Amino acid sequence: MINNMKKFRIPRKKKKKIKKGFYFYPMDPFEKTFLSAFPRENQEDFDAFMTGQLLDFLNELKKLNKYERKTN
């Protein structure tokens, strides 16, 4: 069976930025859980990344560590 859909492609510079992160959708208010996202593999997740809906978990940890170093 031949797949007629066009393959999902990301521009090179955006792909490098996305590769360095670990992304989640915002917390679900009822279940108090996060839904993981893979913007380098999924078109819907990439669109959410481009609109700013995704949270970069590793970036938040880096900010937290930087803040803790300043206070010590």
Buried b (16+ CB within 10 A) or exposed e, 10-43: beeeeeeebeebebbeeeeeeeeeeeebebbeee
Domain residue ranges of the chain, discontinuous segments joined by +: 37-72
Q: How much of the chain, in percent, has pLDDT values that exceed 90?
A: 26
> Which tens digit of pLDDT belongs to each residue from 26-48?
988 899 898 999 998 889 999 99
pLDDT at 52 > cutoff 60:
yes
Average pLDDT (14-18) is: 83
Predicted model pTM = 0.69
The better pLDDT of the pair 61, 29 is held by 29
pLDDT at 63 > cutoff 90:
no
